Amino acid sequence: MNNKFRFRNFQVYKDARKLRQELKILSKKFPKEENFCLKAQLWRALDSIILNIAEGSDRGTDKDFAHYLNNSHTSLNEVAACLDLALDDGYISEEEHKEYLNKCEKLANQLTAFRKRLLNEPTK
């Protein structure tokens, strides 16, 4: 893999891409009236998770990168809220809601651990 784009090697980046793919497929069953509302918001939040990891990875300091990982985490919070709304509106089942919230939680734990590692360990 190209070392110039080191973010592509991070497991959290790979897992965020996988979650994005899965939730884009799931959201295709939302009604058409949600195309420019909930579905679009969900897709923007999913993209933001990934794009913040990529952008932050090339910042000058680990502290700067940690800030972008925090931005990714806040976008992940938005994804979880979108899942709540999709459940409330009957677009997804309880099982789907639970499954994807669990995946969001795992990704949140990865982002938090990576951020803490950046803030507590100097770059080698």
Beta-carbon contacts of residue 41 (< 8 Å; ≥ 6 apart) = 78, 82
- CATH H superfamily, domain 3-120: 23S rRNA-intervening sequence (1.20.1440.60)
Q: How many other CB atoms are there within 10 angstroms of residue 72's CB atom? A: 26
| Nearest residue to 96 via CA among 110, 86, 109 | 86
Which position has the higher pLDDT, 109 or 124? 109
Is-contact 41 89, C-beta < 8 A? no
Q: Which long-range CB contacts under 8 A does 73-78 form with residues at least 24 apart? A: 73/108, 73/111, 73/112, 73/115, 75/45, 75/46, 75/48, 75/49, 76/45, 76/49, 76/104, 76/107, 76/108, 76/111, 77/108, 78/41, 78/45, 78/48
pLDDT band of 2, cuts 50, 70, 90: low
Residue pLDDT, tens place only, 20-62: 999 999 999 999 999 999 999 999 999 999 999 999 999 889 9
Residue pLDDT, tens place only, 71-99: 999 999 999 999 999 999 999 999 999 99
pTM score: 0.92
Tell me: pLDDT of 124 over 50.
no
